[in-house]
Amino acid sequence: MTTVIIEDENFAIKRLSRLLSVDRSIEIMAVLKSIPESVEWLRGHPAPDLIFMDIKLAKGQCLEAFKSPVVFTTSYHEHILCAFEVPHMPVTPVLAKPETANTFSENLALTSVNVFRQMAGMQDQAGGNTGRRRFLVKSGTRRTTIETTDIAYFYVDRRATFLKTFENKKFIVDYTLEEIGAMLDPASFFRINRAWLVAAGAVREMEPFPGSRLSLQLMPAFNKDLLVSREKVKAFKRWIGQ
């Protein structure tokens, strides 16, 4: 799940970032310190799944650019009602209140994340689970997001996990293949062996290979034989023929 933190106090940023980092499935896409900066960032990037925002920054602001659910955070009880006065919010806000002054309620913050996941799960059941929408990846010293529909395959090389896009761009991903497989729509991606997870749209050709396996030609091409494990061949053929 992708998140953005909008907060101007360094202590609060560090505490919430540390809390969210405990769950490896939560990706912090950006930390922003003002509403104007946040609006500019959101207009140029994919919308995160969830936003954590200091309610003081939102007070009196029009937040039409915010298309994601928002968890308002505050260290002061008197600011709680302000959350319901923010115009143009896409959803009813959830409040992460402090246990003591200047301290985030860790239980409530994580509960907010879990409530969002449950809501997303109910939507998946109603409309069909399409899996994770995007991944946060490393690009040199910077990070960026890649839409799942742009990904041709994931693979493991020397204990690192990579993805490659249909435009032949390669990025490092901070997940194992097991974790990635659990995030994806099984109708769109298939784990062909221990080291490879491929998108249906990346499979160009296949042919028999010794040992009752299949050899695949992918797009973009890769510089070695890509084999479907013998025990996965039948399931792969059913999957690719859907």
CATH number of the domain to which 227 belongs: 2.40.50.1020
Pair 112, 172 in one domain: no
Strands in the chain per DSSP E: 2-6, 27-32, 50-54, 70-73, 94-96, 134-139, 142-147, 151-157, 160-165, 170-173, 189-193, 196-199, 203-209, 213-218, 226-228
Contact 94, 115 (CB under 8 A): yes
Pair 17, 85 in one domain: yes
Q: For 170-197, how does the pLDDT look when each residue is reduced to its tens digit (9 = 90+)?
A: 999 988 888 898 888 888 999 999 999 9
Pair 115, 140 in one domain: no
Contact 195, 152 (CB under 8 A): no
The pLDDT score that the predictor gives to residue 43 is 81
Q: Domain limits at 79?
A: 2-127
**Number of folded domains that form the chain:** 2
- Which of 70, 97, 127 is a domain's end point? 127
- Which of 127, 158, 173 is a domain's end point? 127
Pair 214, 150 in one domain: yes
| Closest residue by Cα to residue 196 from 158, 227, 239 | 227
What is the CATH number for 53?
A: 3.40.50.2300
Pair 81, 173 in one domain: no
| Closest residue by Cα to residue 55 from 110, 11, 97, 116 | 97
Encoded tokens for 50: 């969830």
Pair 152, 68 in one domain: no
Pair 197, 82 in one domain: no
Pair 123, 147 in one domain: no
The pLDDT score that the predictor gives to residue 91 is 45
The pLDDT score that the predictor gives to residue 154 is 96
Pair 26, 106 in one domain: yes
Pair 68, 170 in one domain: no
- Which of 63, 98, 127 is a domain's end point? 127
Which segments in the chain show pLDDT lower than 50? Answer: 78-108, 110, 121-128
The pLDDT score that the predictor gives to residue 81 is 46
What residues are paired with 134 via a beta bridge? Answer: 147
Q: For 214-236, how does the pLDDT look when each residue is reduced to its tens digit (9 = 90+)?
A: 999 999 998 888 999 999 999 99
The pLDDT score that the predictor gives to residue 130 is 60
